[in-house]
């Protein structure tokens, strides 16, 4: 019997049966978990905000099988604001998909949980979201054991230099939107090469330029 309380951030949502949904959530202290939200597709379901990508909540989770059940979840952030702007949604989706692909165990990943919260708190339509996602992807790569030092420049002119700028500067407004887009695609290709997996969300990066 699994039974623990933890903070969760929703990385992936999928349909399950007629009225239910499954969410992949990264917890602060228990790694990646799959949570079943029963009846959440019904019109007046109280759990609807918890079935939204990038929502953050505190809950007790219990279960005996593959799926855990939330007990009296408390919503911290609903995630809806990250889904209203297509660039922001794409940036967050790339980060979330990569996180799910990078975590293959049930071990705690508290630093990564905190890092993802930093990302979503910095993702705003006027903040150059692709740059923010590139910063996160660099941190994810380092967390996964694939650290690489990129060339730093105060005024980057290439995707590699932009990644070096992101490594040193961290979350803030990137100096060039198009260069940030190219840098995010570059670090995603590095991720795909190391993890031997494709990131479907990357295909949307060029759609909302």
Closest by CA position to 11, among listed 117, 88, 86:
117
Q: Average pLDDT of 3-17?
A: 95
Q: Is residue 207 pLDDT above 90, yes or no?
A: no
Please report the pLDDT score of residue 184 as a whole number: 97
Instruction: Report percent pLDDT > 90 for the chain.
Output: 83
Q: What is the pLDDT of residue 209?
A: 67
* Closest among 153, 143, 148 to 102, alpha carbons compared: 143
Give per-residue pLDDT as tens, 49-60: 999 999 999 999
Burial of 92 (0-12, 13-18, 19+ CB in 10 A): buried
Angle of helix 129-143 versus helix 110-122 axis, rounded to 10: 170
The whole model's pTM is what? 0.94
Is 80 exceeded by the pLDDT of residue 61? yes
Summarised one tens digit per residue, pLDDT across range 146-170 is 999 999 999 999 999 999 999 999 9
For residue 10, give the nearest of 49, 45, 41, 40 by alpha carbon: 49
């Amino acid at each position: 019997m699994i039974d623990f309380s933890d903070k969760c951030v929703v990385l992936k949502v999928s349909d399950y049966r007629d009225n239910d949904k499954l969410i992949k959530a990264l917890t602060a202290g228990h790694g990646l978990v799959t949570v079943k939200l029963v009846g959440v597709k019904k019109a007046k379901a109280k759990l609807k905000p918890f079935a939204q990508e990038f929502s953050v909540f505190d809950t007790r989770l219990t279960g005996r099988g593959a799926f855990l059940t939330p007990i009296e979840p408390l919503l911290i952030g609903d995630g809806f604001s990250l889904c209203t702007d297509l660039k922001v949604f794409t940036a967050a989706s790339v980060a979330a998909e990569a996180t799910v692909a990078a975590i293959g165990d049930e071990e705690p990943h508290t630093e990564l949980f905190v890092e993802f919260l930093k990302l979503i708190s910095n993702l705003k339509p006027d903040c150059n979201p692709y740059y923010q996602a590139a910063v996160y992807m660099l941190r994810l790569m380092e967390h996964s054991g694939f650290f690489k030092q990129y060339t730093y420049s105060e005024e980057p002119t290439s995707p590699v230099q932009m990644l070096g700028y992101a490594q040193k500067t961290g979350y803030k407004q990137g100096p060039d939107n198009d260069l940030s887009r190219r840098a995010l695609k570059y670090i995603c290709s590095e991720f795909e090469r190391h993890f031997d997996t494709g990131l479907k969300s990357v295909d949307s990066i060029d759609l909302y330029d």
